[in-house]
Amino acid sequence: MTYLFILLAYFIGAIPSSVWFGKSFYNIDIREHGSGNAGATNTIRILGKRIGFTVLFIDILKAWFATTVLSELAGNQSIEYMLALGLVAVLGHIFPIYVGFRGGKGIASLLGVIIAIHPLASLFSVIVFLICLIISRFVSLSSIISACSFPLLLIFHFKNENNSLLIFSFMVAILVIFTHKKNIERLFKKEESRVNLPKKIFRRKSKNRRN
């Protein structure tokens, strides 16, 4: 029965919301446009903020659901089992069976797992992401730095001593770097696309510099 829930976690994580929304409302495959990624960032660029942020919410929610609700239904809420469910859901997002195993990079889904396991660490990781995004305007670079900060936060700030969680945190960093290989290449070649942030942010930054 325990393995049945792990399989269910995969099928929930594999729900390709960006691909389904693109085909349902615009008759396009999101993976054939923009960066070619089936994640929220590319969805925002191609399909707009409304659908893009809906995809972001779904990608976070499905991994959170797999980690918390499925573990409760299975009657096993040990940290190891919850992490296993969450990781399988993330792998489902990256390799979704519904659309030929071509999914997203798993950033939002990883956030859903971290929210379920360690809400405070997830909050700090989001703050790191936002700071990096405001400074660099690279979603990929911000995601990598945020993921790499996760194990450091657990070790040095939260003084975490749970070996399973620490191993998972390093797996998160490695997985994010692995799924962003092409982005890293484009960053070195100075070909990576920047996101357009609200102009108010940059006005405030320029005013602060003058003051």
C-alpha 107 chain-centroid distance: 1
DSSP 97: G
HSE-CB at 211 with a 13 A cutoff on CA atoms is 6
pLDDT digits (tens, 9 = 90+) for 13-22: 999 999 999 9
pLDDT digits (tens, 9 = 90+) for 81-131: 999 999 999 999 999 999 999 999 999 999 999 999 999 999 999 999 999
Q: Is pLDDT above 60 for 50?
A: yes
**Dihedral Cα 2, 61, 16, 96, nearest 10 deg:** -30
The dihedral built from the CA positions of residue 50, 53, 57 and 59, taken in this order, carries a sign that is positive
Residue 34: predicted pLDDT: 87
Residue 211: predicted pLDDT: 46
DSSP 98: G
The DSSP string of 130-141 is HHHHHHH--HHH
Per-residue pLDDT band at 202 (split at 50, 70, 90): very low
Mean pLDDT score of the chain, rounded to an integer? 91
The dihedral built from the CA positions of residue 203, 206, 208 and 211, taken in this order, carries a sign that is negative
The dihedral built from the CA positions of residue 81, 37, 192 and 127, taken in this order, carries a sign that is negative
